[in-house]
């Protein structure tokens, strides 16, 4: 078994190399641990289930320039034209797009007195029809959908109904069913909940209220439309939609065709860029650290060739020489890893305070240290094996 004391004495005789490498390891552990944590957190955000069939939903905007067009009847006619197209599963109009970063949000009260009644969390407010659930591919887990004769054409109409996301229902009425509950918009307007969907995200991906959504039974003739079809039919549908809409009334412009999947990718583009940049940084830091250790070992081999030969002449095996350099590596890595782990925690606290990030999980510094030990072991083994193959005659021939 190796004696640690001589190894420490060897490291202390030439302090500059080990100290610089130690500082590099400390910084690498601190940065890699936090970068890995941020990467995992961002990937988790991007992989959240939105509750909708993102790749199947094609969206577009329609702009009317004919003053004689009656907005609401025209909107109903256009929706029916869309549903009649080949390969279209469902279609509806909407006031906002999920995950788009733009839309309507609101809160409602749990009682008629707005001054004393508790309010709901902030939620995304979708306006929809009896076709909205099918078009978005939402899973209704409680209650029912809107009936066709329940759809209003005005935001101020009476008889307002709502379908809410399960997250909002659980946050507003924990351990209770949301069905039949009444929400208040001001003192007079009541909104009765008739259904709950398993999941429906809002428009703002960085919001803590992303999972809170409400669909109201209002088809007010908005300019945004949703069409559900298999992705392979989207290209031909763009032209078919344009043809059928303009044939019915040419005084209109159709624009902004894109799938909800593309909308989501655009919204998460900054997060994807951050993941890419941090991943490259992690790889580069580990590579630089491993190259630093490799360089130090190769330098030590040249500087201590005669010492290695003498050890071999006195009976040291190749495994003993290999263990010598690996032990030196592990001492530097463990000391640097522990100091770097402490620095990682301090850095994580600053990131949490200034950038609203979650608290760093201690698993990340621990896994970073183990990963660093693995990488540096590979980096040290090759030059250390070269040192172990030095014959005593070659190493000591000038003695």
Q: How confident is the model at residue 18 (pLDDT cuts 50, 70, 90)?
A: confident
Cα 375 from Cα 61, distance rounded (Å): 53
336 versus 15: the higher-pLDDT residue is 336
pLDDT tens for residues 210-237?
999 999 999 987 789 999 999 999 999 9
pLDDT at 91: 96
Question: Among the ranges 9-18, 103-112, 223-232, which has the highest mean pLDDT value?
Answer: 223-232
CA dihedral 175, 41, 215, 265 (to 10 degrees): -160
Cα 267 from Cα 333, distance rounded (Å): 40
Q: How confident is the model at residue 265 (pLDDT cuts 50, 70, 90)?
A: very high
pLDDT at 399 over 50: no
Domain borders along the chain are 4-47+269-396, 66-250
State which H helix or E strand residue 189 sits in: strand 189-197
Kindly list the strands in the beta sheet with 57-64, ordered across the sheet, starting from the edge strand earlier in the chain.
90-94, 224-228, 57-64, 252-259
Do 186 and 219 form a contact (C-beta atoms < 8 A)?
A: no
pLDDT at 9 over 80: no
Residues 265-272 have a mean pLDDT of 94
pLDDT at 120: 93
pLDDT at 1: 43
Neighbours of 316 (CB within 10 A): 17
pLDDT at 39: 93
Structure tokens at 16: 């500059």
pLDDT at 199: 96
Concatenated DSSP letters for 232-299?
GGHHHHHHHHHHHHHHH-SSEEEEEEEEHHHHHHHHTHHHHHHHHHHHHHHHHHHHHHHHHHHHHHHH
pLDDT tens for residues 70-102?
888 899 999 999 999 999 999 999 999 999 999
pTM (two decimals): 0.79
């Amino acid at each position: 078994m190796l004696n640690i004391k001589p190894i420490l004495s060897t490291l202390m005789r030439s302090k500059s190399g080990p100290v610089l490498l130690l500082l590099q390891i400390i910084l690498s552990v601190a940065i890699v641990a936090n970068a890995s944590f941020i990467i995992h957190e961002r990937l988790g955000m991007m992989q959240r289930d939105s509750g909708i069939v993102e790749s199947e939903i094609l969206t577009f905007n329609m702009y009317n320039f004919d003053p004689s067009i009656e907005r609401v009847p025209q909107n109903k006619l256009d929706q029916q034209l869309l549903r009649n197209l080949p390969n279209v599963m469902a279609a509806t109009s909407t006031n906002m797009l999920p995950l788009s970063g733009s839309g309507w949000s609101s809160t409602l009260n749990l009682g008629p007195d707005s001054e004393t009644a508790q309010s709901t969390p902030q939620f995304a407010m979708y306006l929809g029809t009896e076709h909205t659930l099918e078009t978005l591919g939402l899973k209704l887990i409680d209650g029912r959908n809107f009936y066709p004769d329940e759809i209003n054409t005005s935001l101020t109409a009476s008889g307002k109904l709502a379908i809410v996301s399960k997250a909002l229902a659980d946050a507003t009425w924990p351990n209770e069913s949301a069905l039949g509950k009444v929400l208040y918009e001001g003192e007079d307007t009541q909104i009765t909940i008739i259904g709950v969907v398993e999941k429906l995200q809002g428009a703002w991906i960085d919001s803590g209220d992303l999972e809170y959504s409400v669909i109201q039974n209002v088809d007010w003739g908005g300019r945004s439309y949703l069409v559900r079809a298999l992705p392979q039919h989207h290209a031909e549908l763009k032209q078919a939609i344009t043809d059928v809409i303009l044939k019915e009334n040419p005084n209109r412009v159709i624009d902004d065709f894109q799938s909800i999947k593309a909308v989501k990718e655009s919204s998460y583009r900054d997060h994807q860029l951050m993941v890419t940049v941090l991943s490259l940084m992690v790889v580069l830091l580990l590579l630089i650290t491993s190259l630093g250790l490799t360089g130090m070992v190769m330098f030590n081999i040249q500087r201590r060739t005669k010492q290695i030969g003498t050890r071999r002449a006195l009976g040291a095996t190749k495994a003993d020489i290999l263990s010598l350099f690996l032990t030196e590596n592990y001492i530097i890595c463990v000391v640097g890893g522990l100091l770097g782990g402490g620095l990682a925690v301090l850095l994580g606290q600053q990131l949490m305070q200034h950038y609203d990030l979650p608290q760093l999980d201690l698993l990340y510094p621990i896994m970073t240290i183990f990963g660093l030990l693995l990488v540096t072991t590979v980096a040290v083994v090759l030059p250390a094996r070269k040192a172990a193959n030095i014959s005593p005659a070659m190493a000591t021939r000038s003695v």
